[in-house]
Amino acid sequence: MNLLEKFLLLLLAGIPTGAFAAAITWSQPVTLAGDADVSTNGGLLYAWNDANAAATVNGVPFAPGNSLTSLGANVSLSGNYSWNTTAFGSATGNPWSGLSPAYQTVLRGGAYTSNNGTQTVTLNNLIPGHPYQVQIWVNDCRSLASNRTETVTTSRGNTVTLDYNNTGADGGVGQYTLGGFVADAASQVFTLAGVLPAGGNSAQLNALQVRDQSVPNGTSLSTVTLNPAVTYQQIYGIGGNFCQGDQKLLDAYNLYDAVFSASGLNFSFIRLSTSFEMTNSRFAGFDAADVSVTTHFRALQPAGRITLSAWSPPENLKSTGSAFSGTLAKVNGQYVYTNFANWWVRTLQYYRSNSALPDYLSIQNEPDFASSGTNANYQAGSYLSSSETSTRAGYPQALAAVRSALAQAGLGAQKIVGPDTTAIGGSTVATYLANAAPATVDAIGHHLYGDAPATTGTAKLATLNTQYPYASMPKFMTEGNPFDDQETYAPTNQPDWMHLAVTIHNYFTIENANAYLVWNVMYATVAYWTGQPNGTQTYYPLGHFSKFIQPGDWRAQITGSDPNVLASLYRHTNSSPAVTDRLTLVLINTSSNYSYPVIATHSFWSADPLQRSWQVWQTANVGPTQYRLTAIASATGAGLTNDESLVLPPYSLTTAVINTGIASNPTNLNYAAVNNQLNLFWPADHLGWILQAQTNKLAMGLAANWTDVAGTSYGTNALFNLTPTNSSVFFRLRHP
């Protein structure tokens, strides 16, 4: 580098970013002729008039404005003296009278300066690197506009002169020009200066539009606004059921990493089933498998939660003498609530002795459902009515008995979730809860069968949220298989993952629930890992939520302008070394059209460039490429300063992770050996850092062959099998 180059670098270093606006190349002026004047090149970012009236011309919707200083948040104006919403279209005659009423509406108002003043126009909400087209109009159909012109200028660009009235008489029309530029900042400035007549002309702006040339012609860019300061419910976890034999399959297939680790589905909440003391051989081994699953889950998900449920108590406690159908047995005309409660005590004592106590227990799976089957494990059941009858034991009495027995046995701290009913329609959940004694449940659980929560059942979710007698109690969807409803309720043109994704979205955003656990996870997981197509139904949509949304995250406020895109936002806050956020945005495009949202991220980037990160994953059918939870964008550092844009293909699922505050200070790796596995973990405030590893021959030792461990950027631990054949294995953390 020579001395001149060094001098120039030092000089430029002292100039604020954005001091040089991008050059705009303006077209020659074009006299107004008709609706086709309005450009449809690229995608519409925004269009405004200053007539204070909305109007659509050539398919482009112009928003109403009436201000000297701004057009919404999109355009800033300065140097103006006044504005008028009708005057510039108040004369009659041709060619003005030949314009469409909508076009006349757009052009009849404007903001203007006085005494040859200069108007400065600032276009906002641009994305650096994107090519844009700006179109501006000036018009005054009155004869007094004769000889009035203005120059349009931008730094380093050309200048063009526009005429206000092409005839100089009533009924004349103005002109427009098109400007092209590539944004180098979030804003772009140009000026309007009056020219004639000397001493009395004013610069004027009647309307403008800005179009992004990086997207197809005629499309509209939507906006997505994040407001993480407004939060709703806290997330307790996302995961699934390993019940009625699936826990044994999970253990046999050894799919713990695939399901529980950050590189897999990253499940943070699971549900297990107990068959303790049951005699039917088809239920054998459930509890031993539960212990193994719990051990692995706790190692990989230290903040995760487990709920344990019973499909049926032992056969000797049933009215049928069987795990299938019936209710609790009677002795001397009384239901055996005490025996049932003591069975639960023995069950939990077994789990405690094996260091496998659950976070929650559910005394009965689907107490409102009397199964008629006698073959499959999942058909086991025991009816517990919301109120005791002569033929059915009461759920409130059984619940109270279990709570009392646990307290007497030193298990009083055990939390209970209930009632775990089959569906959400009517007032079933509310009735079960209302009839139970206060404080007998610690969380509300229910299932989602037959209620089509992705489509026609959304109103039931909203109603359910108003029925809860305990408003502050966490709400868990503990079991649901939306594919049971899909053939009946889902649109046939949607891909297989769409129904589950929409169900999860609706459950979190409409019912304001705290956890989602899908049914039949083991089937879908095995199908996925063995390459079967039906694994996509559950694996990918669940992963878009479970891999990135963690226990302790808060659902936050988000709004979007595209009604076909469902959006939800989740906020993870660290408090050390400084208060920082990690925002997870899930977007579901439910339409057959592409959507082009601009994500308003500019306000949320950390002051420290090392703490900024933007990562995007997508599931979509895109041409010959089938995206399946595929990473499509990744950026870090000082280049992240403005808004980000996304392309959402038809019927697609997209998750964006905005790390607005990744810790930049070094930290240590911690470790623990569990069941011949090595668990590496690091502080929660370093969420977003990436674990790297290398395996070498013993004589080689440490080398430079570091590789990233998949999935560790959105977790704070990783589990590895201790393999004796690996002579030397090294690990380290790196900032992204």
What confidence tens digit (pLDDT) does each residue in 180-227 have?
999 988 899 999 998 866 556 889 999 999 999 988 888 888 889 999
**Lowest mean pLDDT: which of 255-269, 485-499, 586-600, 698-712?**
485-499
C-alpha span between 125 and 361 (Å, rounded): 50
C-alpha span between 34 and 226 (Å, rounded): 39
C-alpha span between 278 and 286 (Å, rounded): 10
Phi and psi at 678, nearest 5°, equal: -105, 120
C-alpha span between 64 and 77 (Å, rounded): 15
Q: How confident is the model at residue 735 (pLDDT cuts 50, 70, 90)?
A: confident
* Side-chain half-sphere exposure of 80, counting CA atoms within 13 A: 20
**Lowest mean pLDDT: which of 139-148, 154-163, 303-312, 578-587?**
578-587
Question: Edge-to-edge, what's the strand order for the sheet holding 707-708?
Answer: 707-708, 690-696, 728-734
Q: Buried (b) or exposed (e) across 302-340, using 16+ Cβ within 10 A?
A: eebbbbbbbbbbbbebbbeeebbbbbbbeeeeebbbebb
Contact 528, 543 (CB under 8 A): no
Query: What 3-state class would DSSP assign to 419?
Result: strand
Q: What is the pLDDT of residue 11?
A: 31
Average pLDDT over residues 640-647: 88
Residue 672 is encoded by which pair of tokens? 């623990």
Q: How confident is the model at residue 19 (pLDDT cuts 50, 70, 90)?
A: very low
C-alpha span between 400 and 361 (Å, rounded): 14
Return the bridge partners of 266, or none: none
Residues 6+ apart with CB under 8 A from 472: none
Residues 6+ apart with CB under 8 A from 511: 461, 462, 464, 465, 475, 477
Owner of token pair 């079967």: 532
| Beta carbons within 10 angstroms of residue 413's beta carbon | 8
Residue 581 clears pLDDT 90, i.e. is over it: no
Average pLDDT over residues 468-485: 78
Query: What 3-state class would DSSP assign to 575?
Result: coil
Residue 597 clears pLDDT 60, i.e. is over it: yes
